Chains A and B, each alone.
Chain A
Amino acid sequence: MTAALRFDPIRLPEKCEQLRKEVRAFLAEEIAAGTFDPHKPNREDTDAPEFSRRVGAKGWLGMTWPKKYGGQERSFLERYVVTEEMRVANAPTRRFFVADRQSGPVLLKYAPENIKMDILPRICRGEICFAIGMSEPNSGSDLFAAKTRATKTDGGYLINGTKIWTSSAHIADYMIAIFRTSQPTKENRRHGLTQFLVKMKQPGIQVNPIGQITGQYEFNEVVFTDFFVPDDHVLGEVDGAWKQATSELAYERSGPERFLETYYVLTELVRAVGPNPDTRSAEGIGRLVAQLHTMRRMSVSVAGMLQAGKEPVVEASIVKDIGTVWEQQLPHRVRDLAAFVEETATNRETLERQLDFAIKTAPKLTIQGGTTEVLRGIIARGLGLR
């Protein structure tokens, strides 16, 4: 037999449920205090620095990291609970989400000790925001076509070039980026890129906002002109970023954010149809809930494998492929089902406003963080097809 996919029925341990109660109580307080409106995913003020600090104070950022860096040494399954509760509540996580999920773990693995001691505790306190500098105008899914140069100079590197579609760069304190330190070799076109830690908000970096079709300005063009990065900001092996990129993907690809991005329209549909749905609405809701439940069980299963120290790269890619296609279709299915909802439904306006935003959001879901095409390529490789 060729395929070896496993999705064991992992259950969240009891301590997760206590944590879930704490997170829900915290979010309820924040909502009551007016920090955010859970019914408005399209809020204008996506940056919520005070909220970020309060989440940090709860010990919910970097919660799996060692205590000496400000972490809590808790499990991935506990982090999973915090992530999904925040997502379902539409909490403003933009400021800390990338640092907590991705940037922190990269620093933990590759940064020198002094930098870890400096930055990781600040992530845990919710004080700083990270961006990811991967895409360039001529390098998107083809990561290894990146051209932005890092030229060796005394004590560090000079950066010249442009990153693009960089989410949160306008508010970020740091960016983890890949820059070209050497040309690719004949044998390995992935050779020659190096991962760097970049301190933002400095001369030599210009951040230009880019409007998105949702009406938001969450991503940016970031132009580097003779920007200096010191030697100790190199993360990992010079020219060897390609070796470092793949193992983290399982963390990035299988979380609850990969199928819950438009979840709010399903809740609102259930509210709109009321307690006695007609057959059509009932069937539609039943299928969507069955699909949602299945994806969550797959996602929790991958989290359990990560906790057990495995590297379920193919399983994680499957979760993201199925999950993002689902969350992309969800607003359209909800729209179908809402077409015959009574005009008198009390939340009709909320649902319509949410659908408007979710339908505009949908196209990006199968692009960001690894396109459907890239994911299917990874799955195909795992199946032994390439």
Chain B
Amino acid sequence: MAESDNIVVETAEKIFADLADPQTVNNDKKDSWQAPLWQALSEAGLPLSWVPDDLGGSGASLADGFALLNAAGRFAVAVPLAETMLAGWLLAQAKIASPGREMTLLPASPKDRITRDADGALSGRARGVPFAKAAKHFAVLAHGKDGASIALVDASKGRIETGLNVGYDHSDTVTLDKVQPVTIKPAPKGFDQTTLMLMGGVARSLQIAGALEAMLDISVRYSNERVAFEKKISKFQAVQHNLARLAGESAAALAAATSAADALANAKSFDDAVYLEAASAKIRCAEAAEKGGAIAHQVHGAIGFTLEHILHRYSLRALAWRDDFGSESHWAVELGKLIANRGADELWPLVASR
């Protein structure tokens, strides 16, 4: 586990440890942990980390915000922290101030599109929108005749069909039908839906990496406690090798995600190299969620398959996060097209440029 080396992460980890302890949360059938957790996060300015001071946020760096999301993954945090951060970031791209409280962003899939008509009204359907039901506002990327715009929309103006993702978190369908936004401004030059999806994908990658770190940790701990055939199961070579593979998947996810976060935090433009980093992170972290999660469950046996145990809070969420902002197969196709289009002899120079 990486020690936190910045104040944003330290603050967040303290709040998570106090108010989002996975076992406490898991035992709480009434979700009474949610309100105090959100309040503490808000008071610390964390949901608006990526919003500059003059737009109502706390103005943390992209790098600190990504590190915060990695920490949130380690606690399987199930409030719209990442979503509000991303929504605030999107609004800030167009210098739109963020209101307080929960937000999410539309669209959340590269396949969906919100359009803007001549009088500025927004229409379209966005599927798989995380925490839409909890959001008070939506940050929307919309396309009109004269290009992309970014808008702040009152959530009550949208029609929401609620749903749950595989991790039991809200993943809703939001339909906007000629909705007038609170504010709408042109997106910066070059900012498009791909930019937004890659940013969201890297955020999810860091959450997945965090969840895998936690899964490795609790799996190692469990294997050192659980006795079978008169010895700790950690002493069986088959179990050791499975855990070594889980460590490898966790390491790969962490490396891919932190590398992409570093690339985005230092990017001057969204060139092919940044695209490689961001798309690779989502692809590799999603693969790690599948392989690593399976091993964590295998080590835990039946107890890990129960609702009482905290493992599923990590394993199912990591699997669910694969779907947001473009699945790994979506990004693999897009990255593959990019590589093919650049040509065989340009593959290595691209990889080596990172």
Majority SS at the chain B contact face? helix
One digit per residue, 1 when the CB lies within 8 angstroms of any chain A CB and 0 when it does not, for chain B 251-281 equals: 1101110110111000000000000110111
Contact A7 B251 (CB under 8 A): yes
Distance between A91 CB and nearest chain B CB, rounded to angstroms:
13
Contact B251 A285 (CB under 8 A): no
Within 8 A of A (CB), among B30-56: none
Contact A318 B247 (CB under 8 A): yes
Is residue A376 contacting chain B, with contact meaning CB distance below 8 A?
Answer: yes
Nearest chain-B residue to A384 (Cβ)? B220
In the complex, what residues of A have CB within 8 A of residue B228's CB? none
Total interface residues on B, using CB and 8 Å?
Answer: 59
Interface bin, chain A: 35 or more
Contact A282 B247 (CB under 8 A): no
In the complex, what residues of A have CB within 8 A of residue B279's CB? 286, 290
Contact B339 A297 (CB under 8 A): no
Nearest chain-B residue to A381 (Cβ)? B240
Interface centre among A270, A287, A290 (most CB of B within 10 A): A290
Contact B333 A383 (CB under 8 A): no
Contact B234 A3 (CB under 8 A): no
Contact B240 A3 (CB under 8 A): no
Majority SS at the chain A contact face? helix
Contact B213 A3 (CB under 8 A): yes
Contact A289 B220, CB 8 Å, known A274-B340, A283-B329, A294-B280:
no
Contact A376 B244 (CB under 8 A): yes
Is residue B306 contacting chain A, with contact meaning CB distance below 8 A?
Answer: no
Contact B332 A286 (CB under 8 A): yes
Contact A1 B252, CB 8 Å, known A267-B345, A274-B340:
no
Contact A376 B351 (CB under 8 A): no
Contact B332 A283 (CB under 8 A): yes
* In-complex Cβ contact of A285 among B262, B336, B348, B352 (8 A): B336
Contact A385 B234, CB 8 Å, known A8-B258, A376-B244, A376-B245:
yes
Contact A9 B247 (CB under 8 A): no
Contact A289 B256, CB 8 Å, known A267-B345, A318-B248, A383-B220:
no
Nearest chain-B residue to A298 (Cβ)? B255
* In-complex Cβ contact of B250 among A5, A273, A385 (8 A): A5
Contact B248 A321 (CB under 8 A): yes
Contact A376 B336, CB 8 Å, known A1-B1, A286-B331:
no
Give residues in B with beta carbon < 8 Å to A.
Answer: 1-2, 213, 216-217, 220-221, 223-224, 234-235, 237, 239-241, 243-245, 247-248, 250-252, 254-256, 258-259, 261-263, 276-277, 279-281, 283-284, 287, 328-329, 331-337, 339-341, 343-345, 347-348, 351-352, 354
